Amino acid sequence: MSQSIVSTTNLETKSLVFECETGNYHTFCPISCVSWLYQKIEDSFFLVIGTKTCGYFLQNALGVMIFAEPRYAMAELEESDISAQLNDYKELKRLCLQIKQDRNPSVIVWIGTCTTEIIKMDLEGMAPRLEAEIGIPIVVARANGLDYAFTQGEDTVLSAMAQRCPEFQSNKLSNEVEHSESKEAEERKEAKECLDPKDPIKAAPLVLFGSVPNTVATELNLELNRQGIEISGWLPSQHYVNLPALGKNVYVCGINPFLSRTATTLMRRRKCQLIGAPFPIGPDGTRAWIEKICSVFNIVPQGLEEREQKIWQSLENDLQLIRGKSVFFMGDNLLEVSLARFLIRCGMIVYEIGIPYMDRRFQASELEFLEKTCFEMNVPIPRIIEKPDNYYQIQRIRELQPDLVITGMAHANPLEARGITTKWSVEFTFSQIHGFSNARQILDLVTRPLKRQKTLKNLNFTK
């Protein structure tokens, strides 16, 4: 066995170790972000510009939504398009006019694919001209699998949409404060030139970014409201016409670890103040996320410790099934670090965290929280492998023999055939895993294959 394989399987690490094996992206295609974004943004229409292969993929990926009425379509590129024999602008104009006539959406989102990237289609150049002609906003997002991993498709869409958000008018807020505060408060304002976060009239706006189902968004809103924090908006919003106002006086906080490009756009282009916090995945992560936001607004959080302990107590039956079990993340949806941290807190041993892309700045708080969790649970800190090479990963899995491997769909069946219990990582993407109450959803996904494996062993099947 090669030295690189042996060194990576050494678990006696006391600090974070990052490695990059520069393997290919073995992930779900990022254009699949259409499947949840078109449901989240109810007045949108997504136009995927690609080949028939992209169309077949979307048909299969979204086949489970056969009873839904989708608001997406394919602009299929033929050989004549690829060889530049046809006029791309005329064809896109025809499709967009048809979309306007049939659906009349508030926004059309063009999703660029690998093909548009390879043939260098000038989507960003055509969109403003066409937008002026048809009178509907056109947002361009390049969600190609050459440059981006699975969930980064959402990141490119939200990054493009962030630039369409209206400008936050700080004067309006100042006028409201002037007319509502007392003379004493006004003197305090002039002296400190700061806003009191406990008063919703005076509080600096807070925008959360990341696409989650409305039930999850409502729960996170309520959790922050209990601490006296008002949410001024979400990116994406339920309707494109209600995009949140952004500006230098606006605080923003992410709820998914794969939104680093969006965070960069919000900070650099919209001049927002980013709140770097662990992500609200699991009761431990949700508590840390709320506490960090409260600290920024100078609020002492109330009742979070009791709330977290109550959730852990309700999960005890599931926790007994996984304590002491080992798990190996091959890397697919960029949720790996947050999920690993939560499972370590549940009592599992994480051998390796494979991840397609790691932005250490955006995930700095989550990485620090991972270290802290490993220290509290008295377990070694797992290595983090960026862009893992699957060949070497398979060798490490054979050597370590983990109880569970969380992997992309491409590797699940081959591993199962070799006696390795697996779980599709894509299921964590499409499940509700944020907030206190959804911690059970994560454990259900983890315990289900372990229960199945235990049942099969009890049946004593013979080959």
Residue pLDDT, tens place only, 205-225: 999 999 999 999 999 999 999
Mean pLDDT of 51-67: 70
Mean pLDDT of 251-270: 94
Confidence of residue 68 (pLDDT cuts 50, 70, 90): low
Residue 401 backbone zone (phi > 0: left; psi -120 to 50: alpha; other: beta): left
Contact 235, 262 (CB under 8 A): yes
Helical pair 123-134 and 88-102, crossing angle rounded to 10 deg: 40
* CATH class (in words) of the domain with range 188-296: alpha beta
Top pLDDT among 332 and 190 is at 332
Contact 23, 389 (CB under 8 A): yes
At residue 396, what is the residue type? R
Annotated binding-site residue numbers: 29, 54, 114
Rounded to whole angstroms, the Cα distance separating 328 from 406 reads 6
Residue pLDDT, tens place only, 416-461: 888 899 999 889 988 899 999 999 999 999 999 988 887 877 766 5
Confidence of residue 14 (pLDDT cuts 50, 70, 90): low
Query: What is the gyration radius of the CA atoms in the chain, in angstroms?
Result: 24
Confidence of residue 201 (pLDDT cuts 50, 70, 90): very low
Contact 111, 77 (CB under 8 A): no
CATH assignment of 30-148, among 3.30.300.30, 3.40.120.10, 1.20.810.10, 3.40.50.1980 = 3.40.50.1980
Residues 6+ apart with CB under 8 A from 189: 177, 181
Share of the chain above pLDDT 70, in %: 84
Annotated binding-site residue numbers for [4Fe-4S] cluster: 29, 54, 114
Rounded to whole angstroms, the Cα distance separating 50 from 13 reads 45
Contact 253, 277 (CB under 8 A): yes
| Cα torsion 277, 173, 163, 134: sign | positive
Rounded to whole angstroms, the Cα distance separating 358 from 257 reads 9
* CATH class (in words) of the domain with range 3-25+304-458: alpha beta
Topology alike, domains 3-25+304-458 and 30-148:
yes
Residue pLDDT, tens place only, 94-146: 899 999 998 899 999 999 888 888 878 888 888 999 999 999 999 999 888 87
3-state SS of the chain: helix, strand, coil percent to 5? Answer: 50, 15, 35
Rounded to whole angstroms, the Cα distance separating 58 from 63 reads 8
Q: Indicate whether 148 pLDDT > 90.
A: no
Q: Indicate whether 202 pLDDT > 50.
A: no
pLDDT winner (highest mean) among 9-18, 25-34, 190-199, 266-275 = 266-275
Confidence of residue 193 (pLDDT cuts 50, 70, 90): very low
Confidence of residue 6 (pLDDT cuts 50, 70, 90): very low
Task: List the domain boundaries for the chain.
Answer: 3-25+304-458, 30-148, 188-296
Rounded to whole angstroms, the Cα distance separating 422 from 327 reads 9
Rounded to whole angstroms, the Cα distance separating 97 from 420 reads 51
pLDDT computed for residue 406 by the predictor: 93
